[in-house]
Structure 1
Amino acid sequence: MVLLKPLGSAEKGAFQQLLTLDSDGLNILFDVGWDQKLEPEILDALIAEIPQISLILLTHATVSHIGAFAYLRHKYPEFRKIPVYATFPVIRLGQLLTLEVYRSCGICGPFDDVNILKNSEVESIFSEITPINYSQPLQLHKYPALEHLTITAYNSGHSLGGTLWKVNDSIDSVIFAVDWNHARDAHLSGAFLEPKTGRVTKDLQAPSMLITSSTVSQVMSLTKSRASFLEKVKQVLDNDGTVLIPMSLSARMLELILVLDKFISQLRGENSGLKRVPLICCSNYSKQTLYQASSMLEWMVSSIITEWQVQNESPFEAKNITFIQSPSELQSEKLSPATGGRIILAPGECLEQGLSRQVFFEYIAEDEKSALILTEPCFGNTLGFYLLDVTKEKDANSQILSGFTYRSEELLEGEALEKYNKRIEIEKDELELQEAQTKRNKELIDTSASAQNPSDSEDEDEDAVEIIDQHDFIVTDKNNDILFPYVVKRKRKDDYGEAIPASLLKKKKDIKKDAESAENADENYNKDIEMKDEVVEEVVEAPIKIVTKEVNVTLRCKVEFADMNGITNRRSFEMVLKQMKPAKVCAMPGDFSICDWLNTQFEFFEVLDKQVYYPRTNFAVDVRIDANIPLHWHNVSENYSVARVQGILELDSHEKAMRSSAMLIPESQAASNELTDVEMTDTHDNKDAFGRTEDGLTIGDLKLTNLRKELTSLGFKAEFKSQGMLVCNDKVSIQQLNDTEFLLEGEVNTDYYEVRKLMRKYITTL
């Protein structure tokens, strides 16, 4: 049985799919998404399933796919024990996305109230995810419950590090592919298709089950969608207006910045009057996101690496972009030019979380020259969806927006600031006390170890002192904290003793010279290489408070949609699935016409708010003997021939495993074996009262005791031997392997066929 159970709400943009494989008793959770409003009730179904989850696989660094991950790992210790896998970009960029979103909603940040999460804890939670590379099958041997499972990540397009997951167990292969793009973006390669042939990758063909989304792009090509988007932007700039583009931080933001940075450079080359048009990114973590993206060029399309090599700089070091962390900075003279327009990027693709909501209400909504351009689909319960719907009316420009609220940040002052500082001091004292206790415990352990080997420790101390006193050397130790398991590197030794690296023994004056030379060379150092292992440092920020403000404005700006979401279009969706030839397809709700097409092409299930169930595919093979057709058995070794084999049955271009018993008998006895035909029975016709196919029994209610009575009545000598084996006339044996399988062995003679004929009365298929 394979069971797919939706836990979140795909209609609200919260992807949480639980896949159950009964062969190994595994429950695999794909994504820990949250809706755009971060509604707690969306997580109730997932929380109830936490004790049963065996493995978590993450696909994209977006709110819809990982928004609730850190929150649930913090709140439920049992959930934090579950192993998690994702690509390196999803881990690193997902961490920044989480910090951005949680701050805008008051979950973590330098707030006056006690935070649910600290920034450092979010970083710690994401560091627990195991990174995986594309196209490298990974067998999960280190987890006993998962040792029979193989997972493989493939590029999905749409987002940096975005993943298609292929999961193999002993029977089925399942592909999870939600939000994918076949075409190449400005910075991403396409999914499924091989670049040279344009065909679906062989490893992704003929899966037992494909889990995908029915939402597709309405634009036929990437070139047309990009041209339409830039034309809308240019019209607003020509009218000296401001363009607000809400974005998904860590996902489509990278594509938008590359496209807009190049667009502004081209405009400046054509018209010198546009030199003052600013490209502004209003976000707390967008700068760190671009910094991280610059160290992940190997995850992108090859042209990105070529550009980096030619220009000797990362394409994400955008020359035209200005980063700000507060919407209040938009009032500055530099970012609010007297003539000419400006472009503002802000996180929160549906105007629900992030700074895009505040920027819209304070700077865009009532400005008739400005425009809100949404580049990703908005779900039905969001402000973005409401604005797109209301602007379809003729009198949209006079629409009053009331009843809405947005959050803004304000610095703490007076008594609130004193209260905050006092709390921080208490937390700091508690942390120092904990560190002192840890240090004390370590000293006690070291003292105990020295007491056991006093001579060794004293000799080592004397040697160290002697080196420093006589030669004025400083011994440096650059080792990081040692974690278990730790493998000690083999030291180089010869007849004269142990080799000491010169880097560990430096004179004070040499250290000073090295520091000066390193400082001078720092200007020419390639920062892109250094970025790779950098950890984003937490910036010390002034304490703030979140203030909720009510809205009462008149909608005067333009509201438009330009598809820059980076997902496949319908034509390519159909082409890819026809080449994949999945046995079964499960699709999330979205485009009804896509679901109708899938229903005509495949065995299709639409995943709504109920689980999808289908049984494993079972086949039974009936082998009948005809004396008119002689069999020619191949010799194996020691005069033995193969009488029964275990093989693979191919049906409708889908490979299905068919299990059968195998027996070796002497060639002299096997020569008389004869075969007529092979008859196949599909047990899909056996359905229960609920219309589900059972894992049908190929063996009926056969009991050896009843069979013995039948054989005895026919004159056979039937006796039970060791291990419950029934032996007939000392020539034929019948052994029950399990509830559904029996093994018939013996010499090929009249008794063998008579016993088998009698067994057929109790057996539905053999």
Structure 2
Amino acid sequence: MFTFTPLLGAQSASPASQSLLEFDGGIKVLIDVGWDESFDSEKLKELEKHVPTLSFILLTHATVAHIGAFAHCCKHIPKFKSIPVYATTPVTQLGRTLLQDVYASTPLASSVVPSDALTQSVYSLGSNPKILMQPPTPAEITSYFTLINELKYSEPRQPDSAESTPPLGQFTITAYSAGHTLGGTIWHLDHDMESVVYSVNWNQASERVLSGAGWFGEVGGEVTKELRQPTAMICSSRGTGPKVAVGLDQRDETLITLIRDTVANGGSVLIPSDSSARVLELAHLLEKTWAGETNSPLRNAKVFLASRTAGATLKYTRSLLEWKMEKGIGEDSFDFKHVTILERKSRVTKMLAQAEPRVILASDASLEWGFSKDAVKSIASDPRNLIVLTERAADLGGKHKGLGRYLWELWSAGTSLPPSEQDWTSIAPVGLSGHQASLRSARGAALEGQELSLYQQYLATQRSLQDTMQGDSSTALETSGDAGDTWSASTSTTSEDSDDEHQGRLLNTATILRHTRKKLGLSDEELGVKILVQRKNVHDWDVRGKKGEEKMFPFVAKQRRADDFGEMIRLEDFPREEEAEVTGAELRDGMKKENEVGQKRKWEHVTVSAARGSHQNKHRRTDSNDHGAIDDGDVSDEELGEDAPRIEGPSKVVFDTETLQLHCRIAFVDFSALHDLRMITNLLGLIQPRKLILVAGDDTETQILAQEAQKAFAARTGESSKTDEVFTPVLGQVIDASVDTNAWSVKLSRNMVRRLQWQKIGKLGVVAITGRLAAASLEPTSNEDEGTAKKKPKLEVPTATENDKMDTTPILDVVPANLSIAVRSVAQPFHVGDMRLPELRKFLQAAGMTADLAGGGALVVNNTVTVRINKATGTIDVDGGAYSLDKDAMTFYKVRRKVYEGLAVVAGA
């Protein structure tokens, strides 16, 4: 059984991607924890419902659309952090710098507390003040990403399952290159009879930095064996609308031409991009272009890369040589000499105040949270300046239309290209003179008045709900404990289970509510017997007539996490080299101090203060004349937040809106690097999936690709395509894409096992069985025993320690002699195996024959015998022509023998 449910990213304009795959036995796999630039926690409600039953999680790309909600879920969703996660090394490292950039750039990334949760409070203000949840610190983000299990391409792995979830058995996952981003992944999941290929946002074409998708193996034209004929293929439809195919060289030349013309006219160019994925291709192109220009207007303009984590991103990229293209890409390819790195807002502001032409590559592409928004304010008023969009901006929904989406619509309406070609390159920029844009900026502010009481009540409510859900009574005491309470302090600091048991909670009330316990108005009756540990100088409590916990002293024994083999190993005690700045011990101690009851709350990121002291002098910064990376170490929260005003305690988000006069020009050059319609339809004929599920695209793109896929299925089968071969689900719709076969479990009798004659096909063994099925309790006596004393077969009686029920699995025994002749006349022998022409060519050449691949998928042997594979019927045709010489006939028989050797001839009986 295999079902697929899109949680986000199905027939939607939002690029966020979340997919739930469920296999037989209750195995649930979540692929991607994506978000969009709205950072709306309501979009994660469906995901939160499935967290207790998830077996493991897979991540595909280091972009907001695929990994944006990972840190949020680890901090605010209970038990999410305990689920095993798998990704490639680049996705892990670049994803960490991406989320550190996002949380340092906008307070909205913390996500607003849902309005329905606030309206239930007794302190409801009648309107939502947009109170923010607590954001994860850079140290916490680092700790979350250290939990990810890293994989290499083409490396099969049997994943681990989360606690309290069904066993995985022989479940296997394998990562293949997806192109599009560094470390981007096409996942192959193999479980029992189900083979699922998950390919979202991939690119077959090789680029300057990235290689293409790993559909094909070493032999040209042959799809990788593990990816052929899956029972289900899940593919993205984004970018498959009608458009003009543009080559890599033409795309790059278009961008450089636009920059050269703008700079020559005295203008500046802004290129919004992400901060960890596609920005690598753009930055590498600009660096190589400036390095190769001598007497050109481009040398009069400086190039800037503005991102809060650009230094760490480039450092990781330089260390990932095996993940980049082999030709011309070395470690020094990202040691920029012509691109200046800007990580602080003060330096970005200083750069924008300059008058000379410049090229600014800034995060982010949506113009919602990165330095690109500040750059737009600076260059929008000058008609000589140019904004180059590198991908189609997404529609985030709601009342607010993002600036990136608004600019995209202006370009789409003003371009001279027909609608069928508007998704690709336009060399002529569109002037925006006379247009106005509403620019919304988010900033954090401290809670005031009743807002603080509202937030405290919300925290208390959430704590109570989660205590009930998790069956944990100890944490309820932490919310109202006194500063000097030794019992509360011990439960929050000495219990080794607290980090895993209470992770992901929506609150750190042990440090917030200790100052405001009295404001909650908890009476002695409400505290009950817990008053003995929550009130000072209270030593007696009347338990007469009480039941359950109200009759017992609230004592919790301290336990250490250990098993029969000793103490549990804590992963944070063994950090990787790149996390050396925040060591495991410092991280653990910092988290304990932050959550300890009775300790003064230090809102200035106390978790990394100890780690920062010995390393703050190691950071190398650049002045205005320094080109290249700023930071050789990891990203500290001091660097990320030094330009932003610090807010003590809980905060809210405040939106400021201003009107922006647009007089600049705008152009579009597609650097999204996604597969197009022609590419996917051609590939479907080679992969030959039984089922196709389309996600990650809007409704128009999805329907266009579905129609073309139906035609491809019809061309392959030679008949009308079935309606159940291509699925186009909407959000929340469950799709049953199980393989069209049935399987049953039987036991083989001893006589049947002795008669089996296995044949090898590669690494597999094949055998044909003809037998008679009988119930387990009535196993028949075999023919060999008929001549001897007929006695009842001995059945193993399970003991009480094995099973309480009898084993009812049916038994397959040999066919009696009087029925074997009739069965043998009905069953016919057949061939089993998957013969490939390149493999057959090697066999023939090893046997001393000449074999050459000819056009049309034919193999010519000794210039006389032709071998073809009929893909429609699955048969192998060996054609020897008219033989006039005995040696030609011998060649025919030798070739046929080699074909049989590569297959298994399975007898029918």
Same fold (TM over 0.5): yes
Aligned to 1:575: 682
- Which residue of the other structure, out of 380, 384, 390, is the alignment partner of 1:369? 384
Aligned to 1:13: 15
Q: Does 1 or 2 have the higher relative contact order (CA < 8 Å, sep 6+)? A: 2
Residues 556, 69 of structure 1: alpha-carbon distance in 2 compared, 3 angstrom cutoff: same
The secondary structure found in structure 2 opposite 1:358 is helix
1:140 aligns with 2:159: yes
Letter in 2 for 1:161: G
- How many angstroms apart in 2 are the aligned matches of 1:53 and 1:264? 49
- How many angstroms apart in 2 are the aligned matches of 1:376 and 1:405? 21
* Deviation of the 1:392 alpha carbon: 4.2
The secondary structure found in structure 2 opposite 1:97 is helix
Q: Deviations over 1:98-154 (max 9, x none)?
A: 011122231689xx9984221110110011101111111112368772242111111
Aligned to 1:315: 333
CA contact (8 A) 2:770 2:815 kept: no
CA contact (8 A) 1:99 1:108 kept: no
- Which residue of the other structure, out of 275, 297, 300, is the alignment partner of 2:321? 297
Deviates more, 1:294-303 or 1:349-358: 349-358
CA contact (8 A) 2:155 2:175 kept: yes
1:344 aligns with 2:360: yes
Residues 532, 582 of structure 1: alpha-carbon distance in 2 compared, 3 angstrom cutoff: farther
* Deviation of the 1:616 alpha carbon: 2.9
- Which residue of the other structure, out of 734, 737, 757, is the alignment partner of 1:611? 734
Aligned to 2:265: 239
- How many angstroms apart in 1 are the aligned matches of 2:261 and 2:768? 70
Q: Output aligned runs, 1:7-406, within 5 Å.
A: 7-10=7-10, 11=12, 12-22=14-24, 24-106=25-107, 115-140=134-159, 145-191=167-213, 192-194=215-217, 197-216=220-239, 218=243, 219-267=245-293, 269-271=294-296, 274-305=298-329, 307-308=330-331, 314-326=332-344, 329-330=347-348, 332=350, 338-339=355-356, 341-360=357-376, 362-381=377-396, 382-393=402-413, 397-406=432-441
Letter in 1 for 2:368: E
CA contact (8 A) 2:363 2:372 kept: yes
Find the structure with the greater CA-based Rg. 1
The secondary structure found in structure 2 opposite 1:359 is helix
CA contact (8 A) 1:737 1:743 kept: no
CA contact (8 A) 2:777 2:795 kept: no
Aligned to 2:716: none
* Deviation of the 1:161 alpha carbon: 0.9
Q: Deviations over 1:578-606 (max 9, x none)?
A: 21111211111342432211122232112
- How many angstroms apart in 1 are the aligned matches of 2:173 and 2:632? 26
Residues 242, 738 of structure 1: alpha-carbon distance in 2 compared, 3 angstrom cutoff: farther
Residues 252, 8 of structure 1: alpha-carbon distance in 2 compared, 3 angstrom cutoff: same
The secondary structure found in structure 1 opposite 2:39 is coil
* Deviation of the 1:257 alpha carbon: 0.2
The secondary structure found in structure 2 opposite 1:553 is strand
Aligned residues: 562
* Deviation of the 1:243 alpha carbon: 1.2
- How many angstroms apart in 1 are the aligned matches of 2:693 and 2:231? 11
The secondary structure found in structure 1 opposite 2:657 is strand
Residues 303, 241 of structure 1: alpha-carbon distance in 2 compared, 3 angstrom cutoff: same
Letter in 2 for 1:17: S
* Deviation of the 1:373 alpha carbon: 1.1
* Deviation of the 1:639 alpha carbon: 11
Residues 115, 597 of structure 1: alpha-carbon distance in 2 compared, 3 angstrom cutoff: same
CA contact (8 A) 1:246 1:351 kept: yes
CA contact (8 A) 1:646 1:661 kept: no
Which has a greater percent of strand? 1
Residues 121, 705 of structure 1: alpha-carbon distance in 2 compared, 3 angstrom cutoff: closer
* Deviation of the 1:176 alpha carbon: 0.8
CA contact (8 A) 2:62 2:184 kept: yes
Residues 152, 534 of structure 1: alpha-carbon distance in 2 compared, 3 angstrom cutoff: farther
TM-score, length of structure 2 as denominator length = 0.55
The secondary structure found in structure 1 opposite 2:255 is helix
Letter in 2 for 1:249: S
- How many angstroms apart in 2 are the aligned matches of 1:4 and 1:639? 42
- How many angstroms apart in 2 are the aligned matches of 1:35 and 1:321? 29
* Deviation of the 1:342 alpha carbon: 1.1
Identity %: 29
Aligned to 1:593: 704
Residues 639, 164 of structure 1: alpha-carbon distance in 2 compared, 3 angstrom cutoff: closer
Q: Deviations over 1:714-746 (max 9, x none)?
A: xxxx99987699xxxxxxxxxx9858x674656
The secondary structure found in structure 1 opposite 2:319 is coil
CA contact (8 A) 1:8 1:45 kept: no
- How many angstroms apart in 1 are the aligned matches of 2:50 and 2:210? 35
The secondary structure found in structure 2 opposite 1:91 is helix
- How many angstroms apart in 2 are the aligned matches of 1:278 and 1:393? 32
* Deviation of the 1:544 alpha carbon: 1.4
The secondary structure found in structure 2 opposite 1:595 is helix
- How many angstroms apart in 2 are the aligned matches of 1:335 and 1:359? 7
Q: Deviations over 1:360-418 (max 9, x none)?
A: 1x11332211122111222123432222213444697355435431246999xxxxxxx
CA contact (8 A) 1:586 1:604 kept: yes
- How many angstroms apart in 2 are the aligned matches of 1:225 and 1:344? 19
The secondary structure found in structure 1 opposite 2:95 is helix
Letter in 1 for 2:136: L
Residues 85, 751 of structure 1: alpha-carbon distance in 2 compared, 3 angstrom cutoff: closer
- How many angstroms apart in 2 are the aligned matches of 1:704 and 1:148? 26
CA contact (8 A) 1:154 1:165 kept: yes
The secondary structure found in structure 1 opposite 2:292 is helix
Residues 185, 434 of structure 1: alpha-carbon distance in 2 compared, 3 angstrom cutoff: farther
Letter in 2 for 1:64: A
Aligned to 1:511: none
- How many angstroms apart in 2 are the aligned matches of 1:118 and 1:57? 23
Residues 278, 237 of structure 1: alpha-carbon distance in 2 compared, 3 angstrom cutoff: same
Q: Give the gaps of 5 or more residues in structure 2.
A: 111-130, 397-401, 415-429, 447-482, 497-582, 587-617, 619-629, 647-652, 714-724, 745-749, 781-789, 798-805, 827-908
Aligned to 2:817: 748
- How many angstroms apart in 1 are the aligned matches of 2:47 and 2:767? 37
- How many angstroms apart in 1 are the aligned matches of 2:632 and 2:740? 47
CA contact (8 A) 2:390 2:668 kept: yes
Q: Deviations over 1:603-648 (max 9, x none)?
A: 2112322221133322699xxxxxxxxxxxxxxxx99998788999
The secondary structure found in structure 2 opposite 1:77 is coil
CA contact (8 A) 1:327 1:358 kept: no
Residues 27, 438 of structure 1: alpha-carbon distance in 2 compared, 3 angstrom cutoff: closer
* Deviation of the 1:276 alpha carbon: 3.5
